[in-house]
Amino acid sequence: MTPPSDIAPAGLPVREYLLVALVTAVLTLLFTGPVRVFAIRIGAVAYPRQRDVHVVPMPRLGGLAMYLGVCGGILLAHQLPVLRRAFDYSFDPTAVLIGGGIIVAIGMLDDRFELDSLTKLAGQIMCAGILVLYGIRWFVLWVPWGGDAGVFGSVLILDQNQGSLLAILLAVMMINAINFVDGLDGLAAGVGLIAAAATCAFSLHLLEQSGGDVNTYSPALIGATLAGACLGFLPHNFQPARIFMGDSGSMLIGLMLAAGSTTASGRANPSLWGATDTIAIFSPLLIVAAVLFIPALDLILAVVRRTARGVSPFSADKMHLHHRLLQIGHSQRRAVLLIYLWAGLLAFGAVALTLYDAAAVIWTFGIGVLVAVIISAIPRLRSR
């Protein structure tokens, strides 16, 4: 067997990643129909509750179809000579397959039998630990203090325990954030698609800047397969949905986003951009923050709101961001598209900071935010 080459191939393997994403999308699209029938037969059905938006029983287990699509995409990448480097130099794809398989199994049990929150949390921590065991952890972290003259902030080098703990915390937070945001047809799948595409784009930028660093192949692969899975599931899940992804799908999205963000940002070498380029040093964490912002804000507000009422932070209510948009007067589709818009502005705005002139990006981002605010407030302005 010919040993893997340390010499990077010429050019970016954009076509290979697009092929993997497309195959993953097609497989997910095809698998979702049989999975829907399977969910109905075993009784994995979401019946309407007071806090729910849907009014008819809906089969779940969509995460199983997404995971099968991801498996197909990763298998294809393993056969492609260029993307094979993601397997030759790291165990990241293996970690995603094993950890993702286990978390999908836990989610399927919850979709069918409604597991308690502590059991799900234990399963989430276990799956995050699997990622860490296979080497997915943080090695560097930017902090807004210290630094040399003329440089804002500094970069911390984390030891194994610190990096592992941070990776587990990020994974658990990401899993629950996506789970919390999954309240309208197509919402979690669309946010996952946007976040995964932004992570993949940022990883391709790192790949170009580093001259083919082997550490940047796997985060781009994780982002491409997750984006394909979300894209393939959306035709079945966008309003009016025919199947829900359930916890099996939302937890899979969260785990894969955490894995992709950690491998892209936690291993990034800030010296690639120069010691005085503050935006470039900060950009990896901007990607993570942008990906997390919408679901994490919803998660934090929910915890504060429920704790203030004296109930469990994991108890359900009807005050999430998407519920508030519905209360303002937006339709389900418009509320979902608005959250897509906000997530896209944040995620791709952070990516654009690493690719283009910062002043132009900030102006464009500001205009986009203004447009998004006006569109979000239109129903309330009409009522006044």
Q: What is the pLDDT of residue 275?
A: 35
- The phi and psi torsions of 154 (rounded to 5 degrees) equal -150, 170
> Residues in the chain, how many?
384
pTM over 0.75: yes
Question: What's the pLDDT score for residue 1?
Answer: 39
Residues in a beta bridge with 142: 155
- Is the bond into 240 cis (omega within 30 degrees of 0)? yes
Return the amino acid letter for 43.
G
Per residue in 311-352, pLDDT (tens digit) is 665 555 555 565 566 666 667 777 788 878 877 887 788 778
Helix boundaries (H) for the chain: 14-42, 62-79, 85-88, 92-113, 117-133, 160-181, 187-209, 217-237, 246-265, 278-308, 321-328, 332-355, 358-383
Backbone φ and ψ of 57, nearest 5°: -60, 140
Cα 98 to Cα 89: distance, rounded to the nearest angstrom? 18
In this prediction, residue 6 carries a pLDDT of: 47
Q: Which of 179, 156, 213, 141 is nearest to 302 (CA)?
A: 179
pLDDT at 147: 62
Domain assignments of the chain as residue spans, ordered by start = 14-275
The residues of the chain scoring below 70 in pLDDT are 1-11, 49-55, 142-154, 267-299, 301-303, 305-306, 311-330, 380-384
Q: What is the DSSP letter of 4?
A: P
pLDDT at 357 (0 to 100): 75
Q: Is the peptide bond before 379 cis (omega within 30 degrees of 0)?
A: no
Contact 209, 281 (CB under 8 A): no
Q: What's the pLDDT at 253?
A: 93
Residue with tokens 């095809």: 30
Distance CA 211, CA 377 (A): 45
Q: From CA 362, how far away is CA 350, in angstroms rounded?
A: 10
Residue 173 contacts residue 296 (beta carbons within 8 Å) = yes
